[in-house]
Chains A and B, each alone.
Chain A
Amino acid sequence: MRKAVIIGAGMTPVGEHWRLGLRDLAVEALLKAMDDAGIEKVDSLYVGNMISGPFVEQENLGALIADWAGLGNIPAVKIEAACASGGAALQEGVKAVMSGLEDVVAVVGVEKMTDAWPSDATRYLAYAADAEWELFHGASFVALNALVMRYYMKTYGYTEEDLALFAVNAHANGAKNPYAMFKRPIKVETVLKSPYIADPLKLFDASPVCDGSAAVIITTPEKAKELGVPKEKWVEVAGMGRAVDTISLASREDLLTLKAAKIAAERAYKMAGVEARDIDFFEVHDAFTVMAALSLEALGVAKKGEGAKLAREGQIAIDADYPIQTMGGLKARGHPVGATGMYQTVEAVLQLRGEAPNQVPDAEIGLTQNIGGTGSNITVSIFRRV
């Protein structure tokens, strides 16, 4: 198999982009990534997007974005894996390069969520749950995560305050990210005083509804050299893994194990030839604070039941042993669902190039983990400085 390197990256700020549509955001991120790589043509395009149909009445995003970005008559498709659509699109793009089928591939993740009423947005997001057996009963995504959060707290004796520490860490880092939606540090009290949206889950335990797009250009080291892309810009995609679990939470073997993340991580570690302790920073899917804790456990960073302990012991900050959410995570950077996996990718690239506003010193290997559904569709990717 060939090696794959990312040679260009671009993104839009995350936020409520009232003046920009889905295509504007995607084209902006994509052209920035192409400019960053210094190229004008790509062989194909993969679009990570979860739910453009209900949100903006637009499907066929491959054609739309290739057309408007002036990419010509290339193959272009949308990849959907709920909130893990971005991570899945990246991996499809990397596979195309590694297989030898395509030499220069563009991947863009995009989501435009603020054109819908909040209660409709809540409904559309729940399409990623089991519509017939969860949404039918009025379950929102927040509610499903709240069921997990209460059970986690009860099982291991954690408090709402313990989990709030993940939000505090994310905001502390996001405050320095010019592309983040929330550039403001918060205190534990801020989280605890925010209103319940599905008890015991509060507004500040959750990531926001927002818009954004992020993109990368992938090729082989040989082609990168041929294209004249300076080596300082290369970041290798060293490992990838992906797995699914039961779509409905009620069918889960163990409510508190992200089995799909565990399997995806094992595959990615094996492919990259590394272990959890070799990773310099982790971008985990903290759509809800409890998911950050469960993710650290599934990735092998913490033992089962001890994910929240890492936050309590101060081990997740930039200068600690296991820095997470270095650019703010989903919580502070924002979570434009289908674009999130690509934001994580671009942020990992910046860290490994040494260009991050919140730089992890001497970062050589980074990991991104992107969750779709309530843990039902998960991707893990590992990146290495070349």
Chain B
Amino acid sequence: MARPMQVSRYWRHFREKYRLMGGKCENGHVHFPKRPVCPVCGSRNIEEVELSGKGKVISWTIVRNPPSGFEYYKPFPLALIELEEGPVVLAQLTDVDPEEIDFGMEVEVVTKKIREFEEDGIILYGYKFRPPVK
């Protein structure tokens, strides 16, 4: 398995993965993650925008044969979530009974451990989504 020698590869995306920073172009199109060119209108005038992290499940699956590095978590739910600002995000669901996951289920973002590398001791954190804590 590839070793994560390049720590920089992970800290490059701290803003997106810790704070859910996306992009908003001059014409108001919001996307995640932030891109150099707006995928809707082609504008290059894009500012950073922090997304609320509230959204709904569009589709989901239970990953039973994960890529190497994720064996420890299996089986785990993975979903496409449409955020209230519009962009769709792929992420793991957490703190949820797989039986309860459904189309349109409301979820909110939470920061969790994504994975760790045994040999190097690096721990990756990032966003996952869970049913809202009341």
Q: Bound complex: CA of A240 vs CA of B1, how far in Å?
A: 37
Q: Bound complex: CA of A384 vs CA of B107, how far in Å?
A: 52
Q: Bound complex: CA of A199 vs CA of B76, how far in Å?
A: 11
Contact A143 B88 (CB under 8 A): no
A119-B66 in contact given A138-B76, A138-B115 (Cβ < 8 Å): yes
Contact B70 A138 (CB under 8 A): yes
Q: Bound complex: CA of A142 vs CA of B88, how far in Å?
A: 19
Contact A123 B61 (CB under 8 A): no
Q: Which of B2, B67, B76, B103 has the most CB of A within 10 A?
A: B67
Identify A117's interface contact among B64, B68, B88, CB under 8 A.
Answer: B68
Identify A140's interface contact among B58, B65, B87, B90, CB under 8 A.
Answer: B65
Chain B residues 114 to 134 lying within 8 A of chain A, measured CB to CB, are: 114-115, 124, 126
Contact B65 A139 (CB under 8 A): no
* B62 partner residues in chain A, CB cutoff 8 A: 196, 198-199
Contact A151 B58 (CB under 8 A): yes
Q: Bound complex: CA of A151 vs CA of B69, how far in Å?
A: 27
Instruction: Determine whether B63 belongs to the interface, using a CB cutoff of 8 Å to chain A.
Output: yes
Contact A138 B66 (CB under 8 A): yes
Contact B63 A140 (CB under 8 A): yes
* B61 partner residues in chain A, CB cutoff 8 A: 143, 146-147, 150, 198-201
Instruction: Determine whether A271 belongs to the interface, using a CB cutoff of 8 Å to chain B.
Output: no
A139-B63 in contact given A120-B1, A248-B90, A249-B80 (Cβ < 8 Å): yes
Contact A147 B78 (CB under 8 A): yes
Q: Bound complex: CA of A134 vs CA of B78, how far in Å?
A: 10
Cβ contacts A187-207/B at 8 Å (1 or 0 each) = 000000001111111000000
Q: Bound complex: CA of A135 vs CA of B10, how far in Å?
A: 13
* B64 partner residues in chain A, CB cutoff 8 A: 195-199
Shortest Cβ distance from residue B33 to the other chain A in the assembled complex, whole angstroms: 7
Contact A143 B13 (CB under 8 A): no
Cβ contacts A113-136/B at 8 Å (1 or 0 each) = 000011110110010000011111
Cβ contacts B49-63/A at 8 Å (1 or 0 each) = 000000000111111
Chain B residues 6 to 41 lying within 8 A of chain A, measured CB to CB, are: 13, 31, 33, 39
Contact B126 A255 (CB under 8 A): no
Q: Which of B33, B61, B76 has the most CB of A within 10 A?
A: B61
Chain A residues 73 to 124 lying within 8 A of chain B, measured CB to CB, are: 117-120, 122-123
A138-B80 in contact given A133-B90, A250-B89 (Cβ < 8 Å): no
A120-B103 in contact given A133-B90, A151-B59 (Cβ < 8 Å): no
Identify A138's interface contact among B1, B13, B92, B103, CB under 8 A.
Answer: B92
A119-B90 in contact given A137-B126, A151-B59, A255-B59 (Cβ < 8 Å): no
Instruction: Determine whether A246 belongs to the interface, using a CB cutoff of 8 Å to chain B.
Output: yes
Shortest Cβ distance from residue A260 to the other chain B in the assembled complex, whole angstroms: 15
Shortest Cβ distance from residue B21 to the other chain A in the assembled complex, whole angstroms: 13
Shortest Cβ distance from residue B103 to the other chain A in the assembled complex, whole angstroms: 6
* B105 partner residues in chain A, CB cutoff 8 A: none
A122-B67 in contact given A132-B13, A147-B59 (Cβ < 8 Å): yes
A136-B114 in contact given A143-B78, A250-B80, A251-B39 (Cβ < 8 Å): yes
* B67 partner residues in chain A, CB cutoff 8 A: 119, 122-123, 126, 135, 138-140
Chain B residues 64 to 98 lying within 8 A of chain A, measured CB to CB, are: 64-71, 73, 76, 78-80, 87-92
* A146 partner residues in chain B, CB cutoff 8 A: 61
Instruction: Determine whether A154 belongs to the interface, using a CB cutoff of 8 Å to chain B.
Output: yes
Q: Which of A117, A146, A201 has the most CB of B within 10 A?
A: A146
* B114 partner residues in chain A, CB cutoff 8 A: 136-138
Chain A residues 137 to 196 lying within 8 A of chain B, measured CB to CB, are: 137-140, 142-143, 146-148, 150-151, 154, 195-196
Contact B65 A150 (CB under 8 A): no
Shortest Cβ distance from residue A257 to the other chain B in the assembled complex, whole angstroms: 15
| Chain B residue with the shortest CB-CB distance to A246 | B39
| Chain B residue with the shortest CB-CB distance to A134 | B90
Closest 10 CB pairs of A and B: A123-B67, A146-B61, A138-B70, A119-B68, A151-B59, A250-B88, A198-B61, A250-B90, A147-B59, A199-B62
In addition to A134-B90, A137-B126, A140-B66, 9 A-B residue pairs with Cβ atoms within 8 Å of each other are A119-B67, A123-B1, A123-B67, A133-B33, A138-B70, A143-B66, A147-B80, A196-B64, A255-B59
30 pairs, CB–CB < 8 Å, chain A vs chain B: A118-B65, A119-B65, A119-B67, A120-B1, A122-B66, A123-B68, A133-B33, A137-B78, A138-B67, A138-B70, A138-B76, A139-B63, A139-B67, A139-B78, A139-B90, A140-B65, A143-B61, A143-B63, A146-B61, A151-B80, A154-B103, A198-B61, A198-B78, A201-B61, A248-B90, A249-B90, A250-B88, A250-B90, A252-B88, A255-B58
